[in-house]
Amino acid sequence: MKKRLAYIVLISSLWLSTGHADESPPQFALSPLPYEKNALEPYISETTLSFHYGKHHQGYVDTLNKLIDEKGLKGSLEEIIMKSSRNPELKTVFNNAAQDWNHTFYWSSMKPGGGGNPTGPLLDLITKTFGSYDDFKKEFIETGTKLFGSGWVWLVKDKDNSLKIIGTNNADLPLIHGQKPLLVCDIWEHAYYLDYQNRRKDYVEVFLDHLVNWDFASQNL
C-alpha cells in the first residue's frame, strides 16, 4: 500500500514538474490557411507562404497568447484589439493581436486563380468611387508602393459608406478607425521579399492581377 502511495506521489510530482497542472489552453489558435501552402504559386512561393504563415503569423499568435496570459486579459480578438489600441501600456498586446487579425484577413483576401476585375455591386461602387477599375488599380498599387516602411494596403468602406484605399503602418488596421475592411495586401517585406526582393510594386500588381479574392471583398461589403 505504501509503495503504491509513493508511486502515485512520484507520478503526480512528475506531472506538476513538467508544468501540466498550470497549463491552460491558449486563448487564440492560428487560423487555418484557406488553401495549401503551394496553392498561390507561381505568384507567391511555397517557401514564402510557409515562413509567412508558419513562422511570422504563428509567432504573433504565440506572443499574443503569452502576453494576455501574463496580463490576465480576456475577450475576443476584436475586443482585445479595441481595448489595447486605447492604452499605450498595452502597445505590444495591440501589435500582436492586430497582426494576428490582419494576417487572417490577408489570407482570405487571396485565392488560387484569383485576380482580375470584381463584378456586381462592388464593381459598381469601385467605378463610382474611382472612375474605373483601372483607376482603382493605379491608386491601390501607388499606395502600396509609396507606403513608408512596413504596413498594409486596404480597400475599406468608410463611415459615410464611401470606398477608400488606405495605407496603414505596422499593425494599424481600419477596425480602430471605424472603417470596415473589404480586402488587404500585406506590405511587410516578409510577405514578398523572397519572391520579389525590392520590387514591391510588382508584388502589389501581381496581388491584384492574379491573387485577389473579390468574392471575399464582396461578402465584406
Using the minimum distance from each CB to Fe ion, give the nearer residue, 103 or 111: 103
Rule CB under 5 A: which of 106-135 touch Fe ion?
none
- Between CA 114 and CA 201 the distance in angstroms is 18
User: Cβ 133 to Fe ion, closest distance in Å?
Assistant: 26
User: Cβ 106 to Fe ion, closest distance in Å?
Assistant: 7
CA dihedral 191, 193, 199, 203 (to 10 degrees): -30
Pick the stretch among 137-145, 152-160, 162-170, 179-187 that binds Fe ion (CB under 5 A). 179-187
Distance of alpha carbon 105 from the chain centroid: 5
Nearest CA to 166 out of 183, 191, 149 is that of: 183
Pick the stretch among 12-20, 35-43, 159-167, 184-192 that binds Fe ion (CB under 5 A). 184-192
Rule CB under 5 A: choose which of 100, 172, 186, 205 binds Fe ion. Answer: 186
First vs last Cα of the chain: how many Å apart?
A: 69
User: Cβ 15 to Fe ion, closest distance in Å?
Assistant: 38
Q: What is the dihedral sign for C-alpha 47, 52, 56, 57?
A: negative
17: Cβ–Cβ under 8 A, 6 or more apart, which residues? none
59: cell is: 509567432
Rule CB under 5 A: choose which of 130, 188, 196, 216 binds Fe ion. Answer: 188
Using the minimum distance from each CB to Fe ion, give the nearer residue, 94 or 188: 188
User: Cβ 128 to Fe ion, closest distance in Å?
Assistant: 31
Instruction: State the residues that interact with Fe ion by CB under 5 A.
Output: 186, 188, 191
